[in-house]
Structure 1
Amino acid sequence: MVKIELFEVDHWILSQSSDIKHNLAHSYCLPKSLSDVQQQAGSSETGTDVFSPVLSKALDYGPMKGSEALRSKISHLYSSESSSSFSTEKIITTPGASLANFVVLFALVGPGDHVIVQYPTYQQLYAVPASIGADVSLWKSSQEENWKLDMEELEKLIRPNTKMIIINNPQNPTGAIISKQTLEQIVQTARKHSITVFSDEVYRPLFHTVSPVDPEYPPPILSMGYDNTIATSSLSKAYSLAGLRIGWIASHNPKVIDLCVNVRSYALITASQVDEHLASFVLGPPVRQLIEGNQTLTKENLNIVQSFIDKNRSICEWARPEGGPIGFIRFVRSGRPVDDVILCTQLLEKKGLLLVPGRKCFGDGINFSGYVRLGFGGDTEDLIGGLGALQSFLDHDFREIPVYPGAADKY
């Protein structure tokens, strides 16, 4: 029987879902309606017109790899950031990025394989390979180094049976980004050892510190000139449309695509034709305004959180996020990390504020004590309200939160 770890972040949010007044546990940008998307695109059309092409369409199974229209829009996203065109044959769709990740890992990794995973990161990216018999090495980073990756450490982790290097760019939960130079070094190392590079890019292109004209702007992994690269993404995070269950897998390697199509067939056969049609609309003319709006929102909200941290710098700190709508904040007392699980539990009970404890949800119960993940991609007034509740707790109740006795020195 295959056994897989409890998915801690989802379990935490589900188990703490009562009496929430302020939800800053989310990891996506402010959800949009289709009408919102049209308005951002400057359209005066009603939302009904978006549905018109599918109202009379027989809802049979869709194409096995996904609709041609949607895959064409996705291919344009990659072609626009590359020196060459990107064929639709290199793309398959899935209901969200989580399933895309699962399909990739199930299709390409197995017993006897070794994978290296950027850490901290989304639990799925290391728990799934471990559950199917692979050996997993964590490529660790720390706040003290601004969550930057050490290339010498990567070389030390590589074994003769290393099958895959897994990265998350921008990174969940820290908001750190992997620069173009570091991506080039990762690809160079992978090419030397014939290792596949798999990049979860669900938060692209939501960057706060760089723009496409900057030399270190992180390109998609597929534009790095190495065929053994895989990218996954979706509309859930940077595009504000988690309710459209659409994600995708993309790779230059046709064998990778074929293997993923086979696993995908076991899991779902095809994606929803309705969702794919709506996703195709979103990735058309509205997409630029949608991303620009979310970049503006997250940058403004990021500054609000930074002001909060500056005000409370004796008890909380972070490496300022460079991308995505999330940050990883460490709470300390007398320089020692507090028990983040107790902190988050008390915040919900006393203030109705939901946050995500780092040690429990990203540190296997050991690492990242004192850290909490905070989402700042939502409504600005909601963020201000949540930070107000947090400030009240810090002023009146924080002294009751114990220091975590088993805190790892590095984290």
Structure 2
Amino acid sequence: MNIAPFELERYFAKYEFSTKYLLSCSDCEPLHLQELLKMADTETLKLWNNLKLAYTESSGHPLLKEEIAKLYTTIIPDELNVMVPEEAIFIAMNCILEKGDHVVASFPGYQSLYEIANAMGCEISKWQPNFTNGWKFDVEKLKSLLRPNTKLLVINFPHNPSGATVSKAEFYEIIELCRQNNTLLFSDEMYRFLEYSADNRLPSASDLYENAISLFGMSKSFALPGLRIGWLSSKNKKLMNKIGAFKDYTTICNNAPGEILSIIALQNKHKILDRNLKLISENLQLLDSFFANYKNLFEWHKPLAGPISFPKLTTNIHIDEFCKILVTEYETMLLPSSVYGFQGKFFRIGFARKDLNEGLIQLESFVNRHTFD
């Protein structure tokens, strides 16, 4: 497969571990190992202390799958396959698509959600949101992109990078569009449970539609990206069997420590989610204050969910140049919209880390010391 470079990941590879302040992290403040182990009950702590570093069950530890199933209303453990989140996208796309298929994908987005299909020779139509008083995905626009032969619709709510989501009514309408058109649905739900109001929380697509496959994992909502544990859920047994067989050619099975630590985290999911939402809420207040002070430079609309947003730079400087000066002279990283292949002066800012204020101080120093038209 001749696939294009993953621009976002190449950007992070260049700056993530050499830059002092990261203002574009998409995950929540990662938990420390000892912090997580303190949450373990007697049974799971025993699993951890007696852990043998052997091969694990291909589709995931049975106890882990039981805990994952509790995140859904109808999904059962047999309808889950545990794997690295990026691997899950790669395998699903390869099991669903063939050259020439038509795919509709929300855009901008995590590049693999559409680039793998593009590399396979599929035709991609991009469902782009409007930026008017915040980001908004219009279902009517989606309808105009769907065709009778559309093989797959790829969605991501809460959305990376904008923080946008759709209403429950709109979500059900999307499901029904797929059902009527016999279109498979891939739903990236990596930020589920990070809605600021439970009223804005969407059900999992895999709970609602037999030809939906949902992606979730420990990296974002549960603040454990280093575990490299995610999963796919679907009631489409034929597709899940195909995915299981394909996985034999990738990782085969998961890392044993990550599975046990994930069990501990999911058994304490409410504690972890409350911790992350509290940090997001506090940091949103910092961002509201910062952007209120610099209305002449930025257009900011608080999102409805997640730890990231996609504000607009309103000065004449190119967004790439703005971010380059910030990272090289102020050791502070923002992601320019160009890494998403998206036009316009937008940038991704993350706000679920404890050192957000330190990064904002550097950003403030930058904009105060430079003259912008």
Q: Is the 8 A contact 1:37 1:290 kept in 2?
A: no
Name which of 321, 324, 329 aligns with 2:306.
Answer: 324
Q: Is the 8 A contact 1:143 1:318 kept in 2?
A: no
Q: Which residue of structure 2 lines up, in the alignment, with residue 407 of structure 1?
A: none
Q: Which residue of structure 2 lines up, in the alignment, with residue 294 of structure 1?
A: 276
- Alpha-carbon distance in 1 for matches of 2:123, 2:371: 40
- Alpha-carbon distance in 1 for matches of 2:57, 2:318: 49
Matches within 5 A, 1:29-108: 29-39=28-38, 41=39, 52-79=46-73, 85-95=74-84, 97-108=85-96
Q: How many angstroms does 1:172 deviate by?
A: 0.5
- Alpha-carbon distance in 2 for matches of 1:275, 1:330: 38
Matches within 5 A, 1:225-374: 226-284=209-267, 286-333=268-315, 338-358=317-337, 360-362=338-340, 364=341, 367-374=342-349
Q: How many angstroms does 1:55 deviate by?
A: 4.7
SS of 2:90's equivalent in the other structure is: helix
Matches within 5 A, 1:373-384: 373-379=348-354, 382-384=355-357
Using the size of structure 2 for normalisation, the TM-score is 0.95
Name which of 125, 128, 147 aligns with 2:113.
Answer: 125
Q: How many angstroms does 1:178 deviate by?
A: 2.1
- What does the per-residue CA deviation read over 1:32-84, in whole Å, with 9 as the maximum and x for residues that have no partner? 02332355x5x798xxx9564255454332112111111111011113xxxxx
Residues matched between the structures, number: 373
Give the superposed CA RMSD: 1.9
Q: Which residue of structure 1 lines up, in the alignment, with residue 360 of structure 2?
A: 387
Using the size of structure 1 for normalisation, the TM-score is 0.86
SS of 2:252's equivalent in the other structure is: coil
SS of 1:197's equivalent in the other structure is: strand
Q: How many angstroms does 1:322 deviate by?
A: 1.2
Name which of 202, 219, 225 aligns with 1:218.
Answer: 202
Structure 1's 25 and 59: CA in aligned 2 closer, same or farther, altered over 3 A? same
Q: How many angstroms does 1:230 deviate by?
A: 0.8
Q: Which residue of structure 2 lines up, in the alignment, with residue 406 of structure 1?
A: none
Structure 1's 64 and 98: CA in aligned 2 closer, same or farther, altered over 3 A? same
SS of 2:72's equivalent in the other structure is: helix
- Alpha-carbon distance in 2 for matches of 1:354, 1:125: 24
Q: Is the 8 A contact 1:13 1:25 kept in 2?
A: no
Q: Which residue of structure 1 lines up, in the alignment, with residue 150 of structure 2?
A: 162
SS of 1:78's equivalent in the other structure is: coil
Q: Is the 8 A contact 1:244 1:275 kept in 2?
A: yes
SS of 2:66's equivalent in the other structure is: helix
- What does the per-residue CA deviation read over 1:295-330, in whole Å, with 9 as the maximum and x for residues that have no partner? 111111112111111111111012321111111111
Consecutive unaligned residues of structure 1, counting only runs of 5 or more, are 80-84, 404-411
Identity %: 29
Structure 1's 32 and 67: CA in aligned 2 closer, same or farther, altered over 3 A? same
- What does the per-residue CA deviation read over 1:363-405, in whole Å, with 9 as the maximum and x for residues that have no partner? x2xx3321111111100xx111111111111111252xxx8xx
Q: How many angstroms does 1:160 deviate by?
A: 3.0
Q: Is the 8 A contact 2:36 2:264 kept in 1?
A: no
What amino acid maps onto 1:371 in structure 2? Answer: F
What amino acid maps onto 2:15 in structure 1? Answer: Q
Q: Is the 8 A contact 1:109 1:129 kept in 2?
A: yes
- Alpha-carbon distance in 1 for matches of 2:45, 2:231: 22
Deviates more, 1:313-322 or 1:292-301: 313-322
Structure 1's 392 and 58: CA in aligned 2 closer, same or farther, altered over 3 A? closer
SS of 1:71's equivalent in the other structure is: helix
List 4+ stretches of structure 1 deviating above 6 A.
none
What amino acid maps onto 2:363 in structure 1? Answer: L
Consecutive unaligned residues of structure 2, counting only runs of 5 or more, are none
Q: Which residue of structure 1 lines up, in the alignment, with residue 171 of structure 2?
A: 183
- Alpha-carbon distance in 1 for matches of 2:232, 2:20: 36
SS of 1:206's equivalent in the other structure is: coil
SS of 1:266's equivalent in the other structure is: coil
Q: Is the 8 A contact 1:19 1:348 kept in 2?
A: no
